Each structure stands twice: as structure tokens, then as C-alpha cells.
Amino acid sequence: MSSSRNLLAISLVGLGLCACGGEGGPGQDETDTSGDEGDPLLELPEDFPAPAIPESNQLTAAKIELGRHLFYAEELSANQTMSCGSCHLQELGFSDGEVTPIGSTGEALTRNSMGLTNAAYASKLTWANPNLDQLEQQIAIPMFGEFPVELGITGHEDEVLARFAEDPTYVAMFEAAFPDASELVSFDHIIDALACFVRVLISGDSPYDRYRRGDQAAISESAARGAALFFSETLECHHCHGGFNFSLATRHANTTFTQNAFQNTGLYDIDGAGSYPPDNRGIYEFTFADTDMGRFRPPSLRNIAVTGPYMHDGSVATLGEVLDIYAAGGRVVAEGEPWAGDGRANPYKSGLVAGFELSDQDREDVLAFLTSLTDDSFLTDPRFADPSP
């Protein structure tokens, strides 16, 4: 099987179109994970565990640098109009600031561009695919997927590869990254390099991180009060957004059990029986189990203040609105609006979204805490920036 056909098969598995129904992704038996907390390529904060890295794609400086160039290369799309970086902007925590993105051919996607902050620690990738647990799997989907088209490589594999194979600068980078390869410029190598780059996008130096490590002046008194509320049993936020990565959907090199983190947060109930909008129904689209209707992955809250709009479909504009929805125990979409209904009454809503009361000061404090999770050094780190002039 050719390299391009191999990767297309991987992308189909990730999309749930192949016979792979288990919680773990394909290739688990062949792909063990390991991590080296002393690896200088990762530059981990002192209190972060090592991420799980496949034995088949260990980090090297050359692969990371090739991946950075490829991440920002519009030549990777069939019509050379967009790159991975088009929907994942560093200054926005590698999200894009749009409700939902537009693919290279003008096709609108149905899911909001999830930020890539600390994607190396995600136990599942994208908003609602229980089969995706390796970056190498996920990266193939925007490259080769046709429903919807993003980079649009399918049917244009040879010409896309030729762009890099005929560029001396890229050839030199591929040689440095894969010195023993019999086939130098291939989609397998492109995906491995991109995965290596995404894995080093580690953020752990926000004001709240510094506060937690002992710098009491790093955040305001309001943010400190907000942190106490966030981690309280009154608000319940930490049950889905806890741990060092502020997401239940987290794993690392020493993880022995991965929790099923998908949750229904009562965002919709369009028929009074729990339904979500068509083509945006969470992991129900894979399991067809009613109880999985509207269940999506909780994203990391790191850099959350710059990654709006929010929720899986980008339908919530501000963090304040997000907080108000959780305080209400779900969202009411008024009659006459698209997908009208009372999400508070959704029968599949998580029991953790029960609602709570906040004073105006409490609300301000929680928002101050969430803003304190913004890591400006990460958002401006030249190691992650577009290498083009």
C-alpha cells in the first residue's frame, strides 16, 4: 500500500468509517508510549508530568523544526490557500477566533477550532471522537478528510508531495529529520513531523501557575477568590476541568487509566427529548446510543480567555456567557431562533451541570481566575511562531 493510501486508511479510522469501535485508537498494541521528564526538547514546567509519546515517533529537534515549517506551509493544502496555522493562531492559543472555520475550498466546518495548547496531554483528540487518541491519527483528518474538506489533499497527493520534494530547503529538513528513510518526502513523515511540533506546544507559565508555585503577587485577590470558587463543590467546575491541564480528558506518560471524559452540558434540547442539532451530536455520531447525545470533550482551560468563541460549535461568544449558562444549569435557546429549546431540561445532561448561584462579585472573581490562566510567554514564544519572513 502506498504512503498516501496508508494515511487515508488512518484518517478513515479516525473518522469512525472503519471497523474500530473500541475506546482506544487503532494501533494501540503497536504503539507504546513513553516520556522522558529530562528531555530538553519539551522544556516542561517542573510540576508537569512527561507526556505520552509514541515509541514510533520520538521527538528530535530536526523533526520539530520540520514540523514547524510544515504547520505554517500553505503548500500543504491542495490549492495552496491555507495551512494548519490558518485555523490555529499562536496568539489565540492556537485557535482561530472564528465561530467555525472555513476549509481551503470554502466549505464551512461544523465544529469550532479547538486550541492546541498542551495537545500532547489530550487523552482524546477533537471535540467528539472516541477513537482518536494519537496526534498522528488526528492530523491525517484535516489533511485527507473530504466530509468536510479542510486541506483537501485527497486526489492531489502526488502534486502536494512534489512541492516539498522539489524544494531544496525542505529536502534538507526531511533529510535531517529522517536520515535513514528509504522514502524521504512522504505523508508518513509529514504527519510525524507535524505531531512532534504540536507535542512541544506546552503552556505552563500563566500567572495562576506562578501563584500556585508560591508567588502570591502573581494574581489579583479577585482571581484568588475565583480560584477557590472554581475548585469548590458549589460550582463543580473542577470535575471536568481539573488537574494540571484543566481538563478531565488528560493523560501523560504514567497514566494507567483513561477516563471517559465526554459530557453533555445542556447546551441544546431541540425536541424536548434531548436532541442536539443534526451533524453536531457529539459521540452519539459514533455510538448511536441515546445517552451519548450531546456529549463532547471538555477542552483544557489553559489560555481560555483568548480562545473564544466557545463550545463545540462556537455558539457562545464570551466567557461570561459560558459562566452564565453553567450557573443556569444549561442554556435556553428562545423560540424562533435556530435549534430552540431548553437545554436545562435535557435528559442526557451531566449531573455536574446542576446550576449554582453567583453574586456579581463571585462572577467577576471566577472570570478573573480564568483570565489568569493566560500564558503570554506561550502566546509569543518564537519557537512556535511562523518561520516565514
Residues contributing to the annotated binding site for heme c: 84, 87-88, 237, 240-241
**What is the residue type of 278?**
P
Burial class (CB in 10 A: 0-12, 13-18, 19+), 95: buried
CB atoms within 10 A of CB 12: 17
Residue that has been written with the C-alpha cell 467555525 in this structure: 100
DSSP label of 108: B
Q: Which three cell numbers stand for residue 13?
A: 479510522
| C-alpha closest to that of 93 among 382, 379, 385, 384 | 379
49 beta partners: none
Q: Are 363 and 319 in contact (CB under 8 A)?
A: no
Count the helices and strands in the chain (H runs, E runs): 12, 4
Q: Are 80 and 53 in contact (CB under 8 A)?
A: no
DSSP per-residue codes, 141-200: HHHH-BTTBSS--TT-HHHHHHHHHT-HHHHHHHHHH-TT-SS-S-HHHHHHHHHHHHHT
Q: Which three cell numbers stand for residue 144?
A: 485527507
Q: Are 129 and 281 in contact (CB under 8 A)?
A: no
Q: Report the Cα 378 to chain-centroid distance in Å.
A: 16
Regarding beta strands 332-333 and 341-342, do their DSSP bridges make them parallel or antiparallel, or are they unpaired? antiparallel
Q: Are 136 and 192 in contact (CB under 8 A)?
A: yes
Query: How many Å apart are CA 301 and CA 249, to the nearest integer?
Result: 11
Known binding-site residue numbers: 84, 87-88, 237, 240-241
294 phi/psi in degrees, rounded to 5 = 75, 15
For residue 33, what is the enclosing H or E element?
A: strand 33-34
